[in-house]
Structure 1
Amino acid sequence: MKKLLTATALVALTAPAAFAEAHGGYTFALVPKAMNNPFFDLARDGCYKAQEELEDVTCEYIGPGEHTELEQIQIVQDLITKGVDGIAVAPSNAPAMAKALEDAAEAGIPVMTWDSDLLPEDAELRTTYVGTFNYDIGRHLAELVQARHPDGGTICLQTGGAAAANHNERLLGAREQLAGMELGDPPGEPLTGQGGWTEISGCPLITNDDGNVAVQGMTDILAANPDLTAFLSTGAFTQWFDNAYRNAVEPYQEEMANGDLTIVVADTLPMQIAQTKDGLGNGLVGQRPFEMGYKAMYILKDIAEGNEVEDPIYTGLDVCNNDNIDTCVN
């Protein structure tokens, strides 16, 4: 549905529009959670593609070198001080980022979120969200697990930042799908037998989007729980480092092939597709980060020029398993 601009948003239009008119173009910032992340590299590429198409738009792609919540907040504060014409941010810590974005509203800078949104109580600080319906990532990952283990079992969930709204929504989606019931607000409570599923001790694993932490955590859990039924990760960090991931799961390849163990992971990056084709994973639920970065530039231009935009704007998902891995990504 179209979203009418709020009074705050209307005030935010005047300064960027006037700046663009005086300086011959807009500068819009695309702020990821981390710049050492192949998922966000694709969003960057989409942002630059939009820049090529929009003669009056410059994409400024800037974020923390590694996943650091405080650094991301500082970068956004610096962008506000600099006076960019619009900010698209993927908040690592939703409540903390909301406080920083109050300054953007006062400075008259349009804001949108992508990949990860603010909490509902802070939604008025941004005009729209573009990205994934994150609850459905968790739900589809859980469906992949249920298809292989209809009678339930034990499971370990792995996630990103504890305060990242997108990962908490994915956890809730996975838990509610497995439990077959509503479990309250994100991330939901750990499962203790609902729907036949029990989360093991030591999980969920918090990675802070660190690939090394993710692989080590999975390695330790698999070694300590030889009868584990399923391992579900809400982010691609589990599989970013191809050699490390392959070394970690190759000892369990037979169990994955015969249905004793299932490993499913969010996203469909190239190395993840290859791993699944090689039988080193059982399912992926992929987002479309290129489209997020690409659309963000067009959306910010619409906001800056006073046009109505939809809220939210979902970019869709690709659901893959061992049978359709060659054709599942659009």
Structure 2
Amino acid sequence: MKLSKWIGMSAFLTFCAVSVIFLTLLGQDLFKIESASDKTESTYQYHFVLIPEELDNEYWQLVQKGAADAADVHHVYLEYLGPKQADVDDHLKTIDMAIAGHVDGIMTQGLDAKKYKPLFQKAREKGIDVVTVDTDAEGSKRQVYVGTDNYYSGFIAGQALIADTKGEQYVGIVTGRLDAIHQKLRVKGFRDAVSAEKRIHIAGIEESAITKSGASGAAYKLLNDHAKLTAFYGTSALDGAGIIQAIAQYRSTTDFYVLAFDTLPDTIQALDDGTIDAVVVQHPYEMGYQAVASLVRLQKGEKEEPLQYTGTSVIRRGDLPLQQTDRKQGVQP
């Protein structure tokens, strides 16, 4: 009897300890937001939060840089919070935490409209403005979308493949997330663009989980599964680097055509080296800058255009070096 009581007491104490640790960690994050809200009252005009799907992603760090520059101009206290690695549940929890912290505005992705709609509605009911960046949540209560027209970006990628290749092509698609709407649109646009070309075939599609190692594994699987493969299309920022890594490891004699997304340093270096043939260019800095500026205007009661597309194009080796526009602080792109 004493032994069972001791076991029961140990289990209870363990549960209490775990609960205290969890609440302490949660409290630290909530305190960060709440203390920041206090700070905005005395130092800043507004308190905004940028919540990416993955904090350490190079693409999102460029979005954050644009947002930070705009925040400096508009006297905004800006936080950059989110999962360390892509995780939809953690992403949703961070948005909910920002709502609980009574921030003035939220910038984030609408990765799955069904899951994000209730949170966006909750934010609006509390008077918090919501701008989606990079990935929209159509039909939700978000006020503005700032980012790429993802269907169009996929379509021009398909047009690039048609223009740059001859003869039969068997394409392996590596996509960041199979369930993410922006990735789906990039794939759909691509498929629609090449659908009328009988010489171009989609051999297969694999998920990279928006990591370089995941992209390499996905490309290697496509190489193993499809002997006729001649081309690759990567739809997220790290896919291009992962694809060329897999090609190098596979040691095939085929000269693969590789079409990648985003102008990250490794991708541009590969384009210059000739291991990547074309890159779809987005403008993450401008997305971040415009998202903050849009939230500021919403806070002032101004009417905003709900769809604010940033530019998209395809570049090839001949377009290098890229021109880096020197933007003076305070000048909106």
- When normalised by structure 2's length, the TM-score is 0.79
2:180 equivalent among 160, 164, 172 = 164
1:309 equivalent among 299, 304, 312 = 304
Counterpart in the other structure of 1:173 = 189
Deviates more, 1:77-86 or 1:247-256: 247-256
- Mapped pair 1:196 → 2:199: yes
How far residue 225 of structure 1 moved from its aligned partner, in angstroms, is 2.9
- Mapped pair 1:266 → 2:261: yes
How far residue 214 of structure 1 moved from its aligned partner, in angstroms, is 1.1
Relative to structure 1, is the Cα distance of residues 52 and 328 closer, same or farther in structure 2, using a 3 angstrom cutoff? closer
1:86–1:109 CA contact under 8 A, matched in 2: yes
1:52-131 matches, cutoff 5 A:
52-55=72-75, 57-119=76-138, 122-123=139-140, 125-131=141-147
- Mapped pair 1:26 → 2:46: yes
Instruction: Could you tell me which runs of 5 or more consecutive residues in structure 1 were left unpaired when the two chains were aligned.
Output: 1-18, 181-193
Counterpart in the other structure of 2:213 = 212
Q: Percent of pairs identical after alignment?
A: 26
2:216–2:245 CA contact under 8 A, matched in 1: no
The one-character-per-residue Cα deviations of 1:74-93 (angstroms, maximum 9, x if unpaired) are 00000000100011111232
Counterpart in the other structure of 2:60 = 40
**Letter of the aligned partner of 2:137 in structure 1?**
L
How far residue 174 of structure 1 moved from its aligned partner, in angstroms, is 0.1
Relative to structure 1, is the Cα distance of residues 253 and 295 closer, same or farther in structure 2, using a 3 angstrom cutoff? farther
Rounded Cα–Cα distance in structure 2 between residues aligned with 1:329 and 1:320: 14
Rounded Cα–Cα distance in structure 1 between residues aligned with 2:53 and 2:252: 32
How far residue 46 of structure 1 moved from its aligned partner, in angstroms, is 0.8
1:286–1:317 CA contact under 8 A, matched in 2: yes
**Letter of the aligned partner of 1:174 in structure 2?**
F
**Letter of the aligned partner of 1:315 in structure 2?**
T
The one-character-per-residue Cα deviations of 1:119-153 (angstroms, maximum 9, x if unpaired) are 3xx24x11110010111211121122112334443
1:97 partner SS: helix
The one-character-per-residue Cα deviations of 1:70-120 (angstroms, maximum 9, x if unpaired) are 00000000000010001111123232111221211221111110100003x
**Letter of the aligned partner of 1:31 in structure 2?**
I
How far residue 163 of structure 1 moved from its aligned partner, in angstroms, is 2.5
1:268–1:329 CA contact under 8 A, matched in 2: no
Rounded Cα–Cα distance in structure 1 between residues aligned with 2:40 and 2:300: 11
Larger Rg: 2
Relative to structure 1, is the Cα distance of residues 173 and 252 closer, same or farther in structure 2, using a 3 angstrom cutoff? farther
How far residue 253 of structure 1 moved from its aligned partner, in angstroms, is 8.5
Rounded Cα–Cα distance in structure 1 between residues aligned with 2:215 and 2:195: 25
Rounded Cα–Cα distance in structure 1 between residues aligned with 2:113 and 2:209: 14
The one-character-per-residue Cα deviations of 1:271-313 (angstroms, maximum 9, x if unpaired) are 1010111111111001110111111111101111100111211
Counterpart in the other structure of 1:233 = 234
1:140–1:319 CA contact under 8 A, matched in 2: yes
Counterpart in the other structure of 1:248 = 246
How far residue 178 of structure 1 moved from its aligned partner, in angstroms, is 0.3
Rounded Cα–Cα distance in structure 1 between residues aligned with 2:177 and 2:156: 20
1:323 equivalent among 311, 318, 321 = 318
1:323 partner SS: helix
1:236–1:265 CA contact under 8 A, matched in 2: yes
**Letter of the aligned partner of 1:195 in structure 2?**
K
1:12-23 matches, cutoff 5 A:
23=42
Provide the alpha-carbon RMSD of the alignment: 2.4
- Mapped pair 1:292 → 2:308: no
How far residue 329 of structure 1 moved from its aligned partner, in angstroms, is 7.5
2:188 partner SS: helix
Instruction: Could you tell me which runs of 5 or more consecutive residues in structure 2 were left unpaired when the two chains were aligned.
Output: 1-37, 326-333
Deviates more, 1:77-86 or 1:104-113: 104-113
Higher RCO, 1 vs 2 (CA within 8 Å, ≥6 residues apart): 1
2:48–2:78 CA contact under 8 A, matched in 1: yes
Relative to structure 1, is the Cα distance of residues 289 and 253 closer, same or farther in structure 2, using a 3 angstrom cutoff? farther
